[in-house]
Chain A
């Protein structure tokens, strides 16, 4: 958080208890406070789409609060009605009447003169895998496919450790250039890629997935991404062209081991019943 901004805003909100503004002022203060915190209060800026979404929800909530009680509603409505109808507010009302279109014009001007940017798009994190996967001429059913080396973890720990070590070698020979030595998606090539490589340390990535999913992504890379749900942008090579099947399973073991995550288990009742 950007505490230099958040703390003063929180202090102002706390101070409202002593100042006791009108309901309209109170609602406006809360709305502005939320906007400042969302737009400027985070060390890593929050995307505009989320700021707008949050402000929309907060607007609804504030509207519900001020209008759920006749007295509160009167406190909001009366000053606005007075402002719009009483003669003494005429100069200010005129100013507002000019300010609104001026603000719209300014907003349009700013938008039209903003530097050109690539269009916004919604990237989905986990593309849907195919039902079957053919790697090195062997077709696998994705419903039942599991890491053949995983069972060694309990049955033969020594062999498992050897495969892990092999996975480590493969990772640092091939993967770390993009995914980084800490698997945070910050390798030396990462800055040239857009979007940047996946951060495996994030609990929302490989920990959410079965090993078969990783096998598919490693084997087929960017070229193997499905058409639906595009646009996909990935510089990931199809590693089946460079690695054997066992090597790909080994590197997957290493990804989980290094990040101290566990793969999502195959569902006990997984798979269609009749086909």
Chain B
């Protein structure tokens, strides 16, 4: 192509473009709206019809405002995120801090008591260090509680009015107990070195009793909303006591006490991990390694019975209402239980992993290392079973190939028989991991050591066989019978754990102890502790949503209907996002708590560390 042709082509193109632009402008002007009044200069100062209409509208509005009667509002809207999400997040944050504030005094008191009985000052110092986390957390709990109350009153005024109708007699005791909790908590913390030990222990006991009572009252309100009692069919109060002692009140009380301890232990362990990672001296590392170990021990010890308590709560919900039971386990919320299974499976795996890493600091633990792979196989197998959905996420082609929404082979792992068996074996295996860890630093010297080991092994074998037997037999009986099989399964595991522990205590009396090198553990183990704390928190948020969301479009299930714009069940994805953001905010707050606690302990920390570090040759469990 010649250059001149190219140039001519460009010029023509530009000319065409110019003509097109001119044409467009001309057409735009022709088609544009022009007011007939604008052209008339003498009408320019007069108001336009639109302005007149606006004036009339404003006057009508002013008159209506002046004569508007007072009407009670049912709901008010929270900007941007909506009322439900606002209350949901604040309630969850309040609950997480409350759980922590209730849990720490429980194990702090026990650790302090151990120190008092044994005369070992390290335990007393450790209990004090746990308690240091309380004062800021208590303030956060109270502030978030106040915010939650204001939000509820502001956003759900009519419903709150109803709750007051039923529960007003409980408010004064609640406030009084809260007042007493503040007194006991601060006197327990600030009076650590001021009171005699017995008085101080009594203060700790009072703090625990008051804290538990507060939780029991608050539990009455929320369980009433799910399983109402003590009211007429239209909601009129018949008996406040019956409303308090409703169907799921005691299952929630028990479940929450255990879960709070597990959660509190894990947060305290995360604090220790945080301090371990920024420790500068071997003494500090040793101290915080030990503290993290104790915190984690508390968390895992509470985690082991937790599935049983959860099972009881779920079965009570099912017993109260088949609809709610099916919504929970077979309907809209059942997918959250798959996420729950994955999170709990991770918890068990991480807890065992931490123990296995911990064996590295114990001299003589090598002899148990070969068992780890067998424990891991059982844990992984149980984890896989627990996380196998009954109704599988599948494409249309996959559903057609399977002949339904469950897989012909894997579908058997999706039912309760398999799940109960898996969780019981998981618990048993975690206990074995702990036992091996405990044994790592000790060599029995009693004459009957060999027989004791055989008996312990036999107990484990019988328990595991019982769990497996009922798990398999459950496939061949009707549902009503199968549900009852969970009792012998749970009992066999609990009895085995208690029996083996008792034997172990006697077996290790006078045992030869090897060196435990506290502080000589990989940083990975500390990240595992933080992972455990985050997972516990996430799990609490997720399961809290299930418990509350089960009511669906009811404020009080079957009695007071939710007529707000939020009266629908959010998608699972949205719900998990809200839970996740709440967990992130919580860890932002807890970071502040850790930071403040570390400020308090920073002066004279060298002396403190020197005093409180465990002996580097102890085998604590």
Q: Which residues of A contact B (CB under 8 A)?
A: 1, 42, 44-50, 53-54, 57-58, 60-61, 64-65, 67-70, 117-131, 142-143, 185-186, 194-196, 198-199, 202-204, 207-208, 210, 212-213, 228-229, 261-265, 267, 269-275
Contacts and interface: CB of A to CB of B under 8 A. Distances in A.
A120 B395 contact: yes
A64 B376 contact: yes
Contacts of A212: 322
B400 A45 contact: no
Contacts of A198: 404
Contact of A228 (B332, B397, B399): B332
B390 A269 contact: no
Contacts of A125: 330, 390-391, 405-406
Given A47-B394, A270-B320, A274-B229, 9 more contacts: A42-B407, A60-B346, A61-B376, A67-B524, A124-B391, A126-B330, A126-B331, A264-B479, A270-B319
B596 interface: no
A-B pairs, 5 with minimum CB distance: A126-B330, A229-B332, A274-B229, A262-B478, A128-B327
A108 to B, nearest CB: 19
Contact of B326 (A67, A128, A204): A128
B340 interface: no
Nearest to A198: B404
Contacts of A53: 342, 387
B243 interface: yes
Contacts of A229: 327, 331-332, 569
B274 to A, nearest CB: 21
10 contacts: A61-B383, A70-B360, A70-B522, A117-B396, A125-B406, A196-B404, A208-B330, A264-B478, A272-B321, A274-B229
B222 interface: no
A117 B395 contact: yes
A120 B397 CA distance: 10
A204 B414 contact: yes
Interface stretch (B231-239, B277-285, B421-429): B231-239
B331 A65 contact: no
Given A44-B409, A274-B229, A275-B559, A50 B389 contact: yes
Nearest to B478: A262
Interface stretch (B349-357, B500-508, B533-541, B579-587): B349-357
Contacts of A265: 478-480
A194 B396 contact: yes
B380 interface: yes
Given A129-B323, A142-B323, A208-B479, A68 B405 contact: no
A121 B571 CA distance: 13
Contact of B410 (A50, A120, A213, A261): A50
Nearest to B403: A196
B489 interface: no
Contacts of B391: 122-125
A interface, over-half SS: loop
Interface in B468-502: 475, 478-480
Contacts of B232: 274-275
Contact of A270 (B322, B334, B383, B480): B322
B376 A204 contact: no
Interface of B: 227-233, 235, 238, 242-243, 246-247, 318-324, 326-327, 330-332, 334-335, 342, 345-346, 349, 352-353, 356-357, 360, 369, 372-373, 376, 379-380, 383-384, 387-411, 414-415, 475, 478-480, 522, 524, 552, 557-559, 568-569
Contacts of B389: 50
B478 A274 contact: no
Contacts of B405: 123, 125, 195
A61 B377 CA distance: 8
Nearest to A206: B479
Contacts of B373: 65
A203 B356 contact: no
Contact of B369 (A64, A69, A121, A271): A69
Nearest to B369: A69
B228 A275 contact: yes
Nearest to B316: A269
A68 B322 contact: no
A57 B322 contact: no
A213 to B, nearest CB: 7
Given A53-B387, A126-B326, A61 B379 contact: yes
A61 B369 CA distance: 16
A267 B397 CA distance: 39
B407 A50 contact: yes
Most chain A Cβ neighbours within 10 Å, of B230, B231, B396, B400:
B396
Contacts of B352: 64
Given A45-B398, A50-B389, A50-B407, A124 B323 contact: no
Most chain A Cβ neighbours within 10 Å, of B247, B391, B410, B479:
B479
B362 to A, nearest CB: 13
A275 B522 CA distance: 58
B231 A69 contact: no
A69 B525 CA distance: 12
Nearest to B476: A203
A272 B320 contact: yes
B380 A68 contact: no
Given A50-B389, A68-B372, A199-B404, A274 B230 contact: yes
A54 B404 contact: no
A41 to B, nearest CB: 10
A61 B228 CA distance: 44
Given A60-B346, A199-B404, A129 B326 contact: yes
Contact of B246 (A45, A65, A118, A273): A273
A44 B409 CA distance: 8
Given A118-B396, A228-B569, A199 B403 contact: yes
A247 to B, nearest CB: 23
Given A45-B401, A196-B404, A124 B330 contact: yes
Contacts of A271: 320-321
A7 to B, nearest CB: 16
A64 B353 contact: yes
Nearest to B319: A267
A203 B480 contact: no
B408 A44 contact: yes
Contacts of B335: 122, 124
B558 A47 contact: no
B380 A204 contact: no
B332 A131 contact: no
Contact of A64 (B238, B321, B349, B394): B349
A69 B227 CA distance: 50
A269 B325 CA distance: 14
A204 B390 CA distance: 9
Contacts of B398: 45, 47-48
Nearest to B380: A61
Contacts of B247: 272-273
Given A195-B399, A195-B405, A210 B332 contact: no
Contacts of A60: 346, 349
Contacts of B475: 203
A185 B408 CA distance: 13
A275 B323 contact: no
B393 A49 contact: yes
Contacts of B388: 50
A143 B332 contact: no
Nearest to A126: B330
B410 A46 contact: yes
A127 B345 CA distance: 27
A118 B243 CA distance: 48
A165 to B, nearest CB: 23
A203 B392 CA distance: 16
A265 B480 CA distance: 6
A100 B353 CA distance: 31
Nearest to A256: B478
Contacts of B233: 275
B326 A202 contact: no
